[in-house]
Copies of this chain bind each other. A is one copy, B any other.
Amino acid sequence: MGENTGTKAVTLSDVAARAGVSIATASKALNGRGDVAATTRARVRAVAEELSFTPNAMARGLLAGRTGTVGLLTSDLEGRFMLPILMGAEDAFGAGRVNVFLCDARGDAIREQHHLRELLSRRVDGIIVVGRQTDPRSSLGQGISVPVVYAYAPSDDPRDLSLTPDNVAGGRMAIEHLLACGRTRIAHVSGDPSYAAAQDRLTGARQALADAGLQLVGDPMFAEWSEHWGRDATALLLQRHPDIDAIFCGSDQIARGALDSARDLGRAVPDDLAVIGYDNWEVLAENSRPELTSIDANLQQLGRQAAQKVFEAIDGIDVGAGVRHLPVRLAIRGSTIARR
């Protein structure tokens, strides 16, 4: 641990004293404010550099009423949806010289309240609440003195602004891609049916099929978001409906399982059977045989936009309210279109 550890930080008055000027002059010199003689300014700056003076952001914030600080309140860091959102937000804020307070509530409402208090006591200029599912979550309430934006999990209060991926459009996009590939006998294997994401994707899929005068082969199969289930469901499916030519999977994990079962049962992907996943989780999608076509929710983009909205709200711009469904995109790989 550095030998300088514990040294008291140098203050503006240290710099002023060493430069032989008053604190006020030193302040002006360093901030380029007011009229200061060029020589004086240079001298002060040199001293500041020499002492490696760093202005105390707290003292500044106390005056300014702004801290240049934003709270990121996550419900569960573990979820893999958090990370890209967090990255996007951190990225956007970092570019604007704002720092991020990270708080993980571990999915616990009490801990969340606790963290909220802390963030407010630190006078963050704004808050982004990131949830782990797209199901609506309870609002933090309207009595908060700084702007709040909800990302991924929308707030259940329409007065709040929420950004969430458009799962209905994603479901539609998946089916439209399969149709474009000439598939017509399409089945659906998804995860936990209690998730809004599962229902929304199904809704979109059905819309797209209906638009083409088609419908799903068999009932949609729901259970859990795992490879195991993807394997089991697909085996069952191919036995019951051997004539299907495509499977729309509710997640990439399920799709990986589907690919495994298809291979076991001698069905060639994509020639004989097309498989499309959801999430575009690259570690899974790019390492399967064949590589997996998938729907990407643009989460990093979502995080960036959430940050953007918080910025605007801080600047007094009206960012509106309600749930915004952000567009998703298709990542095409070999599981739906033969390569080369």
Q: Interface of A with B (CB < 8 Å)? A: 1-9, 52, 54-59, 61-62, 65, 67, 69, 72, 77-78, 80, 83, 86-87, 90-91, 94, 97, 99-104, 106, 111, 115, 117-123, 141-148, 159-161, 226-228, 231, 253, 256-257, 260, 283, 287-289, 313, 316, 318-321
Closest residue of B by beta carbon distance from A139? B2
- The answer to whether B100 touches A316, judged by C-beta atoms less than 8 angstroms apart, is no
Would A83 and B87 count as touching, CB distance under 8 A? Answer: no
Separation of A271 and B78 alpha carbons in the complex (Å): 34
Q: Which residues of B contact A72 (CB under 8 A)?
A: 102
Q: Which residues of B contact A83 (CB under 8 A)?
A: 77-78, 83
Closest Cβ neighbor of A149 among chain B residues: B1
A67 vs B57: C-alpha distance when bound (angstroms): 11
State the CA gap A101–B283 with chains docked (Å): 28
In the complex, which residue of chain B has the Cβ closest to the Cβ of A228? B287
Contact between chains at B145 and A5 (CB < 8 Å): yes
Asked if A99 and B122 sit within 8 Å, CB to CB, the answer is yes
Check A77 against B90 for contact (C-beta < 8 Å). yes
Alpha-carbon gap, A297 to B83, bound state (A): 20
Docked-complex contact A316 and B58, CB < 8 angstroms: no
Residues of chain B within 8 A of A122, CB atoms compared: 57-58, 69, 99
Residues of B within 8 A of A59 (CB): 58, 62
Q: Quick check: A253 and B283 within 8 Å, CB to CB?
A: yes
- Closest chain B residue, CB of each to CB of A146: B5
Q: Report the 9 A-B pairs with minimum CB-CB distance, sorted nearest first.
A: A227-B287, A2-B142, A102-B102, A58-B58, A57-B122, A57-B121, A54-B121, A54-B120, A77-B87
Q: Given the complex of chains A and B, what is the CA–CA distance between A245 and B62 in angstroms?
A: 67
Measured CA separation A80–B143 after assembly (Å): 37
| Assembled-state Cα–Cα distance A319/B6 (Å) | 14
Q: Which of A80, A100, A121, A148 is the most central at the interface, judged by chain B CB atoms within 10 Å of its CB?
A: A121
Q: Whose C-beta in chain B lies nearest to the C-beta of A116?
A: B54
Contacts of A77 in B (CB 8 A): 83, 86-87, 90
A310 to chain B, nearest CB (A): 10
Contacts of A159 in B (CB 8 A): 1-3
| A161: B residues at CB distance < 8 A | 1
By beta carbon, the residue of chain B nearest A3 is B142
Partner of A1, one of B8, B101, B104, B319: B319
Q: Which of B54, B103, B319 meets A94, CB within 8 Å?
A: B103
